[in-house]
């Protein structure tokens, strides 16, 4: 007896499109920036900061966040600009980042939070080698969202975790 083998042709399954990542978009000066939402704990209204002597210029002070002392950075100063003016929409974005196996909580001052954006990998270009007023190591890329560009920050490089760990230690 001969057995018949049937071979079924399968149509190739296209690869699944890469899922878009979520980014928090915010305004600093006249520019829109974004950072991956995975490291963001919360956004709070700007409140009183306690200044701490002998801190780098970009550390604006500390806040009491539910009993924890959290350093707050001024991104504008970190980018070599004038300090951010405090206005009605000024917020502190509280981040939790890992450094040397430990969670480090800190805040960054932004002029205004815009929205949470879904940006796919195909909509992110590598950082330009020229034409930006920011150091290229601060940039993870340039996102295109609804015809506008969003500067995506590399959180680890912008926040200078080695320096911050020395400050918080």
For 94-126, write each residue's pLDDT tens digit: 999 877 778 889 999 999 999 999 999 999 988
13 inside domain: no
Indicate whether 106 belongs to any domain.
yes
Residue 50 pLDDT > 80: yes
Distances (CA, A) of 78 to 11, 38, 72, 109: 53, 22, 12, 11
Does the residue 62 lie in any domain? yes
Greater model confidence, 22 or 159? 22
pLDDT tens sequence across 9-26: 555 555 555 678 999 999
DSSP string, 62-122: EEEETTEEEEEEEHHHHTTSPPPPP-TT-EEEEEEEEETTEEEEEEEEESEEEEEEEE-GG
Q: Which residue has the higher pLDDT, 89 or 78?
A: 89
158 versus 164: the higher-pLDDT residue is 158
CA-CA-CA-CA torsion for 81, 123, 114, 70, nearest 10 degrees?
A: -60
**Four-CA torsion 100, 64, 49, 114, nearest 10 degrees:** 70
What CATH number is associated with residue 109?
2.40.50.180
Is residue 130 in some structural domain?
yes
Domain count, the chain: 1
Q: What is the pLDDT of residue 6?
A: 47
The answer to whether residue 75 sits within a structural domain is yes
The answer as to whether 15 is a domain residue is: no
Give pLDDT, residue 28.
92
Q: Which residue has the higher pLDDT, 3 or 105?
A: 105
**48 within 8 A of 168, measured Cβ to Cβ:** no
Is 67 within a domain? yes
Q: Look up the domain containing 43 and give its range.
A: 21-168
In a domain, 48, yes or no: yes
Q: Which residue has the higher pLDDT, 54 or 134?
A: 54
């Amino acid at each position: 007896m001969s057995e018949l083998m049937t071979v079924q042709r399968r149509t190739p399954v296209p690869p699944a499109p890469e899922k878009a990542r979520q980014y928090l978009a915010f305004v600093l000066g006249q520019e829109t920036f974004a950072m991956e939402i995975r490291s963001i704990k919360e956004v709070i209204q700007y409140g009183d900061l306690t200044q701490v002597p002998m801190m780098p210029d970009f550390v604006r002070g500390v806040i009491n966040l539910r009993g924890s002392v959290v350093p707050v950075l001024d991104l504008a100063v970190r980018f070599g600009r004038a300090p951010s003016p405090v206005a009605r929409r000024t917020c502190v974005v509280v981040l939790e980042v890992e450094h040397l196996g430990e969670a480090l909580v800190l805040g960054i001052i932004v002029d205004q939070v815009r929205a949470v954006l879904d940006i796919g990998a195909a909509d992110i270009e590598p950082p330009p080698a020229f034409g930006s007023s920011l150091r290229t190591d601060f940039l993870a890329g340039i996102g295109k969202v609804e015809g506008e560009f969003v500067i995506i920050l590399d959180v680890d490089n912008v926040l200078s975790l080695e320096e911050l760990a020395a400050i918080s230690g």
